[in-house]
Each structure stands twice: as C-alpha cells, then as structure tokens.
Structure 1
Amino acid sequence: MKGFYNRSLALILSLFLGSFEIFADDLKININSIGSSPLYLTNSMLVLEDPTNILSFEAVQSASYQSKFIKVPSSKEAFNFSYSKSTYWLRVHLQNSDPTPKDIVIVVAYPRLKTMDLYFQSPKEFIQIHSGYSVPLSFRPYKSRFFVFPIQFSGNSNATIYLKVNSPNAINLPIQLWDKVAYDRHEIDDHVVQALYFGIAFAMAVFNLFVFFILKDSNYLFYVLLVLSTALTIASHNGIASEYLWQNSPWMDQYSINLLISIVLILFLVFMRNLLNTKKLVPKLDFVSKVLIIIQMILPVLYILSFDSFIKIMVVSHSFTAFWILVNAITCSFRKERIAYFFLLAFAFLFSALIVSTLRALGFIPTNSFTIDGPQFGSAAEMLLLAFALADRYNTIIKEKETAETLVKFNLEKSNFDLEEKVKERTQILNRTLSAMRRDLFVAKKIQENSLITDPTLIKRLNLVYRYLPVSEVGGDFFDICQLNEFKYRILIADATGHGVHAAMITMAIKGLYDNIKTFELSPSKVMEIFNEEFMDNFVSLNSLLTALIVDIDIATKTIQFASAGHPPAVLLRKNQIQLLEKTGRMMGLKKQTHYGQSELTWDVGDRLFVFTDGVFEAFNLKEEEFGEESLYHLFQSTRNLGLAEVEDHLLKTLQIFLNGQDRQDDLTILGIDF
C-alpha cells in the first residue's frame, strides 16, 4: 500500500512539475564544500523503487533503469518510506574538484534498517560495502550505532554513489555527508551526550530504589522499573543497544523497539493505577486500563509470530494506549487530585514524543533530527517530572505525619527532652567523627602529594617547574615523570572527571595502573592504548572518564612525540610562535579497543613547553566569564622573558585577580619545561 502511495505521488509530481525537468540528471555535489557540519543529501538524490526486490546493481546501472530514477518528496534531512516491502535504490553524484584526496563518510543516521548497502563508482575504482543490522557490527566498516561508510575520494574526480535499502521496519533515511575528521569528533561528542542521558537515568533509578527500600512504597519500585525500561527502549530506538548490548542480533534489531514500548506502556498503566488510585477515583476508566494491559501482553506475542501482519496494529495500539493514559491523567486532574497534575504534565511529554515517533514511522510527518530524537527528550522530561510527582507524594506523607505528631505533642514532651539529649550526644560523636575525617583528609592529601614527588635529578635535567593546586585537600589531577633511557624522558599528565575524594581515589588507583606500563619503550600512542584497555577492564564500573597526555622528550634528537586522549592541547612556545600539541584520540573510559594517533614535533634550544589540565583556563568569575585558552596563550607569550617559576606564579596571581573572590571550580596542574 505504501509503495502504491509513493508511486502515485511521484507520478502526480512528475506531471505537475514536468516543465521543471524532474527527471533531469541529478546535480553533482562538490565534497569540498563540507565543513564541520554535515551536508544532507536527500534533496540531491534520485530514487528507484523495486517492488520485486530482485534488481541487482548491474541491472540498476542499465540505461533502462537509470532513466527510472526520479525525485521523490522528502524533508531537508531524510526520506520517509514508512513500512514498505519494496527495495529502494538511491543515487547521488559527487565531485572532488581539489587535486588532493579527501576522506569522507556517508552516514545513514537511523539504526533499524536491515539492508543498507553502498556502491561507490568512479573512473578510478569501484567499492561495494554491505551493511544494515543484518551485518554483525564487527564486520561493518565503521563501528557505530548508525550505518557509516568511510570513503577516500580521489582528487580531481567524479563518482556516483548508490544506496540499496530494504527493511521490514519503517524505512527512514536521514542521509548525511561528513568530513571524516569532523564526524569522528561528532561521534565522541555524541557518545558523551548519550552517556550523560543514560547516566542520569541510572542515577535516578538507583536513588529511587533506595527510597523504595526505605519507605516500602511500591510506587517507587514501579518508577524504577519504568525508568529502566524507558532507558532501554531509548537505547534500542537510537541504536545504542545495537552497538553495546546486542551487537550481532538482527532479531532484536527488528523486534525489540515495539516489544519494549509495550513493556513501558504496561508499566505506565500499572504505575498510573497505583499512583492515582484509579480503581476508586475513576472505576469505569480503570476497567478499560486493565483490558489495555492484557492487550499489550497479547499483541507482542502475535507480533512475534507474524511481524508483517501485526506491525502496524502494534504501532497504532501503542498510540491508543498512550492516549488512554493521557485521558485518565486529565480526568484525575479534574477531580482535583494533586499528584495527577504532576503525572499529567510528565506523561504529556512522553505522549507527545510517542505520537511524533508513531506518525513518523507511519509516514505522516517527515523524518528529521527532531522527530528522531524526540522520544529521548520526551523520556528525559517524563523521568524528571515523575520524580517530582513522587517527591510531592513524599512531601505530602511528611506533612500528614507532622499533623499526626502535633496531635500527640503533649504526650511526647518527655520523649522530646530525651531525644534532645541524645541529639547532643550524637552531635558530639559527629564532631569527633568530623575531626577524624579532617585528619584522614590531611593524611590523604600528604599521600597524594608524596605520590606526585618526582626525582629532583629529573626535574633539574628537564629544567622543569610545576604547580599542583587541587580544589579541596585532594584532587583528580595527577602527573608522572620518568626516564626511559639515557636521552629520552616521558611525561604523563591526566585529569579524572570530578574532583575531591572520589576523583582522588580514582586517580590514585589509575596511577597504579600507569606505573606498571610507563617504562615500556613503546610509542606514546601504544602506551595510551594499553592504558585505556587497563582502565576499561578495571574501572569502567565507576562511570568515570579520564583525559590524558603522554609526551616523550628526546634530548638527543630534539624531538617530542606525543599522544593525547581528549586532553587540552599542550603549548610549545617557540621564539616567534605558539605550536599546540592537539588531541589525537577520544577520552579514556568511553570504549575499548580505541586507537590513538601520534604526532611528532621538533624543538630548539630556548623553546619552552607548558603541559596543563583544563583547570588552568576553565575558571569562571562572578559574571560567568571564562578565563579561556586564548587568555592563557597570551599570558605565555607576554611572559616569555620571565623564568618558569615566575611565569607560573604570575599565572596563579592573574587567575586570582580574574576570579575576584570566586572559588576555583576545578583542580589546577601545570608543568613548564625550558629546553
């Protein structure tokens, strides 16, 4: 039916727009116009629908089929063919007018496509890449939650790219053209955002689970189950689950999202009935809610037995069930049920996101970043607002308890007196405990300072001066200096997320890992890769990330080799210019088997090197103004005639003036070397 609709619409458009040559040759896209953001290709692509699913690439290339590629309606960002049994071929022409080759990536930012094959044809070469969720993640050209095709485009050449798409799920095609370096950076940023979302969801689940054990209120348990199932549904929806949980399961990629939505809706119905007490408040509506729970249990079984027959019924049932929950929330709100106001507002966000997702899947609205990411934003708002609802419920319980206590206050006066005495006693104990904790923190501070002490001989040979200033007694920064051989020295500087005791404990443990590998006479990049593997094996459960920079200084060859794991660039101060030691890889703790690049610089006598953590420049004053990297670089240049110790003291004084009484927000570490 959907294929018929697409063919009819294409025919109407062809008749209406005939004077504009809708079947004319597609335009060539010059890949040199790609910047740090992607180019969306849908408006530049022609489409061929194959309802027989038998056409091969050779057949598609024939003249008879080339003329059948047409322009089809789409949003700026994506095609939306909804649920279709056809195979779709898409064609676009690219051009590299520059004489140098360029690394690009074609990205299809939608994870639930069974077949997603790319054919790259140019006068110089032909590339065929198979992908889609039917291809295990380990066999794909780029390990990502989306389908990513890296291509090296030869200089001064043209090429035609074909995409072959087929899927039992809704066929949505957000097709993007990226510069390879820009996309790698985007991937890191995207993983950080996803880590924040799922980290918040996990934290909320754990917190409310503790509240459940304390209060024994089943609503908190239902909320925990709801948060976890919603987070898993979002992970399935945006491909995170395919990347990390079931990398080689096409069955899960095909079925999981609708099965998980059913689970979420069942939990929502149970949570709503329990929280709003609909059995007493709206008994007639409550009966329908129980029927919908049964339906949402039966439909997934039928859906598994016959995917094609029940997929659209399943999607429509989700929308109806969500609408029914909204009706219950509105009705309870009209009954002046206080907690229903929070529930209504919370579910309204999720309901809107679910409706947008359903309409997109059925092809009624376009596919773009808003309609794809809407469920994730909606679920985040829903989690927070439901947490407020439970907090209000808890606050109501407290007020009721206070009222009851007021009624028996006269009988509890003596008990209150005894309680005050016990409080005084406990306060004394607490003060003693606090004093002990202060002593322990002082000891911890000394231990950490001692662990950072470097052999004075090395400091003298390197003409090195450093400053280490944690925000509190202990911090999350650390550094290490060692000598590899007669002429080569290795410096490590690292920064764990956060600060205080938690970050300090992590850094001390991580430093223990580094001490075992730091003297390996391997390149900095290889040491960094080993360091990341050890970190992931031992500390991934701590949900902590780490930036690090390893610098090898060879005084014989006057060279610097370095590898950076997301760490702020070090500064090599030459006579007339500044050269930055840029990042060569992502932060540690994000993913195993991460590759780190390596760079090499030369230095001359009289050059100066500064290595530091982000606490040096990420300082904010009372006006929320940041000191910033540019100010730091300018300070280094303007103090070129001063000694290293004077430069670092001047930096600390400048920061103090800039903060103007505001406390520093992060640990500060800086090492300076005069060559």
Structure 2
Amino acid sequence: MKNCKFLFILCLVTLFRIELYSESTIVNLNQLNDKPIQLVPSIYVLEDPTNALDYLSIKSNEKNLRFQKVTNAKEAFNFSYSKSTYWLKVNFTNPNELPMDTALVISYPRLKTLDLFLETHDQVKNIPSGYSIPSNNRPYQSRFFVFPIQFSAKSYATVYLKVNSPNAINLPIQIWKQKFYDRHEIDDHVIQALYFGITLAMITFNLFLYFILRDISYFLYVLVVLSSALAIATHNGIASEYLWNYSPWLDQYSINIFISVVLILFLIFMRNLLQTKNVLPKLDPWNWFFIVVQIILPIAYIFSFDTFIKWLVLSHTVTSFWILLLGVLCSLKKQRIAYFFLLAFSFLFLALIISTLRALGYIPTNVFTIEGPQYGSAAEMVLLAFALADRYNKIIKEKEIAENKVKINLEKSNFELEEKVKERTFKLNQTLSVLRRDLDVAKKIQENSISIDPNLRKNLYFDYRYLPVSEVGGDFFDITHLKDSSYRILVADATGHGVHAAMITMAIKGLYDPIKEFELPPNKVIEIFNEEFMDNFVSLNSLLTAIIIDIHFENHTIEFASAGHPAAVLIQKERTTLLPKTGRMIGLKKQTHYENKRLNFGTGDRLFVFTDGVYEVVNQKEEEFGEEQLHHHLLETRELPLFDVLDRLLKTLQNFQKTEERQDDLTILGFDL
C-alpha cells in the first residue's frame, strides 16, 4: 500500500514538472562531456524596448510575456546595435545522482549589463556581470563573461539572463563542465600568449632594423603591428582582463577607436611602402581624405555614440576597401612588393569585413566570425614582414649591382689612367726642373711671409726654429705687438706638408693679417678666422690647427685659445703648465665656439709654442719621441739661454731619429717672460 502511494505521488510530481517545463526545451546536463553544449537553440528570448522590466515583474507576469525562440540562431544571438534590453530564458535538468559543477560562458567581452538569475526549487540567486562590473567582482576571472553554476543532484533549474549594451549585442552562449572549461581557459591563454609573443617579436625585430637601416617603412610597420595588437586585445577581451580591469568607457569606445588608428597607420604605411604618391598621384589626395575621416568620425563618435557608431563602423569597411583597391592597382603596375602587401591586407580586410558585418547583424555570430580578426591580423603581420624582407633583399641586390658597375668602371678607369700616366710621365719630367725653380721662389716667398720684425726683440725676448720637410712647409707663425706691453702670438699647422700645405699657409697669412690686431680676446679672433676660412677655402678640403696667445706683461697674464693645436708649455720654476685645446680644428664646421682661457705668469717663466712635428719624430724602431720627453727636455734645460735650449732640442731629436730626414715640418718658439 505504501509503495502504491509513493508511485502515485512520484507520477504527480513528474506530470507537474513536465507541465511546468513543456513550454521550453530542457537542457539535459547529462549530455555534457569534454565539449560544451551550445545553448542558443534551447533559449527563449524576450525583447524589452522600454527597459522597464526586472526579474520580479517578469516572474509575476510571465504567462503574458512572449518569450520566443530565434529560429535562425544556432551558435549565438546577434541583435546588433539595439537600445532594448533582452531577457533570455533556458531550463536545465541534472538527472545524475551527484551535483554537477558547470560554467555558463558568454564569449563576447563588450556587454555592459549581463545579469544572471538562477532559479531552483528553493531559491533564486542573482549574479551581476558585464563590463559595468569591476572584473574583481565578477564570478570568474576571464576575458569573457563566465558564470560558475553548481546544479544539485536530480534537480531542475531555470536561468534568466538580462542583457543590455550600447555596443553591438552578440551572445554566443555555451555551458561547460567546470573542469573542462578551466582546461580550455588555459589552452586559450596559451594561444593568446603565442599571438602576442609573435607580435612582440615582430615589433622588436623591425624596430631593431629601423635603428640600423633608418628606413621609415620599418618604423611604420612597427606602429601598424602595435596598433593592430591593441585592437585585437580590445576585440577579444584581453585588454579588459589585463590592461584595464575596470573601465566601462574604454570597453565601450576603444575597439572602434583602435580600428581607426590601425587604418590611419595602414594608409600612411601604404603610401610609404608602395610609393602611391608617385605611382598613383591622382588618387593620393583620397588617401588624405580617408585619413581625415578616420580622425573626425571617432571624435564625433565619442561625443555622440548612438548617432555616429554605425557611420564609424561603415567607414571602417569603406576605408579598408580603398586600401585594398590601391593594393590591386599597384599590383597591376607590376610592383613586386605590392603583391605581398595585397595578400597581407586581404586577410585583414576579410577579417574586418566579417567583424563589421557581424556587428551590424548581417551575418551570424560564431567562433569563426569572433576569432576571425585575430587570425587575419596574424596572417597580415607575417606577410607584411615578408614584404619588408623582400624590400631589404631588393635593396641589397641593387647595391650589389651598383658595386659591380663601380668595380667595372674603376678597372676601366685604372687602365686608362695607367696609359695616361705613361704618356704624361715624360711631360712631367720635362717640367720637373721648372717646378724646382718655382719651389725655390716659393720658399723665398714663404720665408718672407714669416719674417719677424726686428723691433719686436727690443721688449720681447724670444727665439725660434722653423724647419720645413721640403723647400716649403705647412707651418706658419706670427708675432704681433698689440699695444703697450701686450703681444699676440699665432702658431698654425696645416694638414700635410709640401706645396699644398704651403699654399694653405699663404691663405692663413692672407686671412690673419687683417684681423690680428683686433682688440678682441684670442677665442674671438679664432672664431672670425674660422668663419673666413670656411667661406673662402673650404673647397681646398684642408684643415689646420692653430693657437693664439696674448701675453700681457703689464699684469703678468696669458690669454689663449687653441683650435685643436698641441698644448703649449709654460715653464714655471720646476714645473710645467700646459695650455690645452679649447675647441675643434679650423675648417671642420662654421659657427664653432672656442673657449678663452687665462693664466698668470711670473718673472723668469718661459713659454714654448710648437707644432706636432717637434714631438712626432719617429726612430728606426718606429718609436715616437713624444710630448712627455719634450716637456722633460724643456724643463731640464730651463737654466740655459733660449738659443741653447732650441739647439740642444734639435740635436736631441736628430740623435733620437738617427737620420737627418724628417717626416713633418718642425716649428718651435720660445719666450722669456
């Protein structure tokens, strides 16, 4: 009897539950395994254009509300841009003897409001989510919206979802066993890490190439890849998960702004890489038109989202089509690099078109239309890298061809030159004797140019040695009485020696004579001299060092400025003080600044100014005499008269060199202060 009563009650309960759930498809959780169940075919939808309904009002008036199935939806609902609130309803049954842990997943990150209501036989549980909720307060940390739900053993439950968003409303909804979804989440992050790792490698490598080659195409490629990666990270929810955990404004606006940035950079990159300004000059103004559109529309869209969102999304498609069209036209003109560009952008273009059409509700939402942009971006990134690699190979080949042409021309020129040399050697020998006579004349002219006024020796005690390598040399010096007890000394050394250097010394004299008595400090005189030299003799491709020293006996001071000249030596009792360089060599650059320095001297001090030919004497062992030995010699002979000091120095250098042949002009001046 008791068994009969139990069976009767069980039948009533079963009939009651069948009647309760007969209005909708019941999802049997016993079908769950390692793959998810697509819930869209089992869900009923209610659109609330008034946005006034809440859970209690729906439950109190559910029989009069028209929940309907969307028959054309298979993997996801696509309500495009809608101001309505959508209520979704799905029933579950767990016939198992044990509770089941599941994860309800909505794999679309741009839903502002996404509230779940779990209704069981004994309670109703509300779980709020959506990007209006900080990620730390969501039930599950993921780039998508995940609701962990535990279904009791042998239970029935109903899930309601409330959805509202200013963005396109796409709802791919699945239910997983919790442990399998956790594994899927790990695999998904590995794929994302692989994509963004490749992106980072591409950025780093091409940035490195940019700094080596200084080719702006590589830098523009880096910007394109970086902006594309940010757009993808925003599109697939990675940015919301890792870059900003809670920013409703960015979640709402960032994806379309980043797409506009990608298109702007792509237009600039295309103009540079394909040279569309030269190849398609009539179409080039349209590039700037589309760039301006992609700047203005995102700004307008920020101020009025509802008004401009569809226009902005449409502009992305039109601009992408324009870039694709130019790629086709450049390919028709047989630009090799355009083939790579066209193929690369075709993948991105296809992905962008699919994303746009899905956002506007013209194609269904599924795994392919959701993940398509990321795959397209990866293909575009790799193919563009091939395009740049091909560009680099082309540059290398062009360089090799140019070098071969230069080599052939050089060999031809060398042969012709040898013939001309043979022909002219005879003529040169004929004129050699004439040149020798001319050199003798040049020697006398140069000696006259550096002659010293005998009146200077009345108040200035000095001696000097001037020994050019050949008949004429590149060293020059001048001693000028400024006024009262002040004297100005110039020592200059033109690069090289012989006739060419001697001609430079004539130029030095011609430039220096008009300015040497200016009442200016030495550094200003050198600056004027450098400007005049650059204006008049830069074509000679010669440089020179120089030092100007002003000796003021009245206040016992020395002012000096040195244009890369060897340091003069001031002997003060038992120590030496150097007058170092205060600026670069003359003839390198206009508007060069030279520092002016001042030193004090005492009675009995001695000053030596010289060119580098004094200490760069080399012996048979290729050892250089050096500045240190020179300074030591000058200090060691400080008690001798200047005449003896300079003669002993020349003998010391000759003994060191063990030959009378010198390698450079030699000039040294000594002053008793």
CA distance, structure 2, for counterparts of residue 239 and residue 74 of structure 1? 27
- Structure 1 moving runs of 4+ over 6 Å: none
Instruction: Note if 1:25 corresponds to 2:62.
Output: no
Does the 8 A contact of 1:59 with 1:65 survive in 2? no
CA distance, structure 1, for counterparts of residue 321 and residue 211 of structure 2? 32
Q: Which residue of 2 aligns with 1:256?
A: 254
Instruction: Note if 1:333 corresponds to 2:342.
Output: no
CA distance, structure 1, for counterparts of residue 144 and residue 73 of structure 2? 19
Q: Which residue of 2 aligns with 1:268?
A: 266
CA distance, structure 1, for counterparts of residue 23 and residue 309 of structure 2? 37
CA distance, structure 1, for counterparts of residue 401 and residue 115 of structure 2? 68
Q: Which residue of 1 aligns with 2:118?
A: 120
CA distance, structure 2, for counterparts of residue 256 and residue 172 of structure 1? 17
CA distance, structure 2, for counterparts of residue 66 and residue 361 of structure 1? 32
- Offset at 1:74? 3.9
CA distance, structure 1, for counterparts of residue 336 and residue 139 of structure 2? 54
3-state SS of the aligned residue for 2:166? coil
CA distance, structure 1, for counterparts of residue 320 and residue 45 of structure 2? 35
3-state SS of the aligned residue for 1:25? coil
Q: Which amino acid in structure 2 is aligned with residue 208 of structure 1?
A: N
3-state SS of the aligned residue for 1:55? coil
CA distance, structure 1, for counterparts of residue 131 and residue 63 of structure 2? 27
3-state SS of the aligned residue for 2:282? helix
Q: Which residue of 1 aligns with 2:222?
A: 224
Distance verdict in 2 for CA 1:65–1:389, change over 3 Å:
farther
Q: Which residue of 1 aligns with 2:141?
A: 143
CA distance, structure 2, for counterparts of residue 349 and residue 235 of structure 1? 18
Q: Which residue of 2 aligns with 1:205?
A: 203
Q: Which residue of 1 aligns with 2:362?
A: 364
Alignment match of 1:85 (pick from 83, 86, 101): 83
Does the 8 A contact of 1:45 with 1:71 survive in 2? yes
Alignment of structure 1 residues 68-217 onto 2, 5 Å: 68-217=66-215
Q: Which residue of 1 aligns with 2:234?
A: 236
Q: Which amino acid in structure 2 is aligned with residue 377 of structure 1?
A: Y
Distance verdict in 2 for CA 1:178–1:66, change over 3 Å:
farther
Q: Which amino acid in structure 2 is aligned with residue 61 of structure 1?
A: K
Q: Which residue of 1 aligns with 2:302?
A: 304
Alignment match of 2:316 (pick from 309, 315, 318): 318
Does the 8 A contact of 2:44 with 2:67 survive in 1? yes
Q: Per-residue displacement from partner, 1:296-352 (whole Å, max 9, x unpaired)?
A: 111111000000000000000000000000010001111111111111000000000
- Offset at 1:393? 0.5
- Give structure 2 stretches of 5+ with no counterpart: 1-20, 412-673
- Offset at 1:285? 1.5
- Offset at 1:217? 0.4
Alignment match of 2:291 (pick from 293, 297, 318): 293
Corresponding pairs, count: 392
- Offset at 1:408? 1.9
Q: Which amino acid in structure 2 is aligned with residue 233 of structure 1?
A: A
CA distance, structure 2, for counterparts of residue 73 and residue 328 of structure 1? 41
CA distance, structure 1, for counterparts of residue 47 and residue 270 of structure 2? 45
- Offset at 1:76? 2.0
- Offset at 1:73? 3.4
Distance verdict in 2 for CA 1:149–1:66, change over 3 Å:
farther
CA distance, structure 2, for counterparts of residue 66 and residue 174 of structure 1? 27
What TM-score does the superposition give when structure 2 sets the normalisation length?
0.57
- Offset at 1:25? 1.1
3-state SS of the aligned residue for 1:176? strand
CA distance, structure 1, for counterparts of residue 234 and residue 410 of structure 2? 55
- Offset at 1:124? 2.6
Alignment match of 1:407 (pick from 399, 405, 419): 405
Alignment of structure 1 residues 279-290 onto 2, 5 Å: 279-290=277-288
CA distance, structure 2, for counterparts of residue 289 and residue 396 of structure 1? 26
What TM-score does the superposition give when structure 1 sets the normalisation length?
0.57
CA distance, structure 1, for counterparts of residue 185 and residue 394 of structure 2? 45
Q: Which amino acid in structure 1 is aligned with residue 385 of structure 2?
A: A
Alignment of structure 1 residues 576-595 onto 2, 5 Å: none
- Offset at 1:33? 1.1
3-state SS of the aligned residue for 1:99? coil
- Offset at 1:24? 6.8
Distance verdict in 2 for CA 1:126–1:277, change over 3 Å:
same
Q: Per-residue displacement from partner, 1:152-175 (whole Å, max 9, x unpaired)?
A: 111111000000000000000000
Q: Which residue of 2 aligns with 1:57?
A: 55
Q: Per-residue displacement from partner, 1:591-627 (whole Å, max 9, x unpaired)?
A: xxxxxxxxxxxxxxxxxxxxxxxxxxxxxxxxxxxxx
CA distance, structure 2, for counterparts of residue 324 and residue 357 of structure 1? 17
Does the 8 A contact of 2:58 with 2:65 survive in 1? no
3-state SS of the aligned residue for 1:160? strand
Q: Which residue of 1 aligns with 2:654?
A: none
Q: Which amino acid in structure 1 is aligned with residue 174 of structure 2?
A: Q
Does the 8 A contact of 1:74 with 1:80 survive in 2? no
CA distance, structure 1, for counterparts of residue 62 and residue 178 of structure 2? 35
3-state SS of the aligned residue for 1:75? coil
- Offset at 1:63? 3.6
3-state SS of the aligned residue for 1:89? strand
Q: Which residue of 1 aligns with 2:37?
A: 39
Does the 8 A contact of 1:346 with 1:383 survive in 2? yes
CA distance, structure 2, for counterparts of residue 37 and residue 404 of structure 1? 62
- Offset at 1:411? 7.4
3-state SS of the aligned residue for 2:283? helix
Q: Which residue of 1 aligns with 2:470?
A: none
Q: Which residue of 1 aligns with 2:390?
A: 392
Distance verdict in 2 for CA 1:216–1:203, change over 3 Å:
same
CA distance, structure 2, for counterparts of residue 24 and residue 292 of structure 1? 55
Q: Which residue of 2 aligns with 1:245?
A: 243
Alignment match of 1:376 (pick from 361, 374, 377): 374
CA distance, structure 1, for counterparts of residue 360 and residue 76 of structure 2? 14
CA distance, structure 1, for counterparts of residue 63 and residue 306 of structure 2? 29
Q: Which amino acid in structure 2 is aligned with residue 245 of structure 1?
A: L
CA distance, structure 2, for counterparts of residue 341 and residue 233 of structure 1? 25
Q: Which amino acid in structure 1 is aligned with residue 374 of structure 2?
A: Q
- Offset at 1:286? 1.2
CA distance, structure 1, for counterparts of residue 181 and residue 410 of structure 2? 67
Alignment of structure 1 residues 432-443 onto 2, 5 Å: none
Q: Which amino acid in structure 1 is aligned with residue 170 of structure 2?
A: N
3-state SS of the aligned residue for 1:135? coil
Q: Which amino acid in structure 2 is aligned with residue 189 of structure 1?
A: D
Does the 8 A contact of 1:60 with 1:66 survive in 2? no
Does the 8 A contact of 2:170 with 2:365 survive in 1? yes
- Offset at 1:389? 0.5
Q: Per-residue displacement from partner, 1:390-409 (whole Å, max 9, x unpaired)?
A: 01100100000000110122
Alignment of structure 1 residues 3-14 onto 2, 5 Å: none
Q: Which amino acid in structure 1 is aligned with residue 89 of structure 2?
A: R
CA distance, structure 2, for counterparts of residue 65 and residue 404 of structure 1? 85
CA distance, structure 1, for counterparts of residue 46 and residue 299 of structure 2? 35
Does the 8 A contact of 1:265 with 1:321 survive in 2? yes
Alignment of structure 1 residues 463-478 onto 2, 5 Å: none
- Offset at 1:284? 1.7
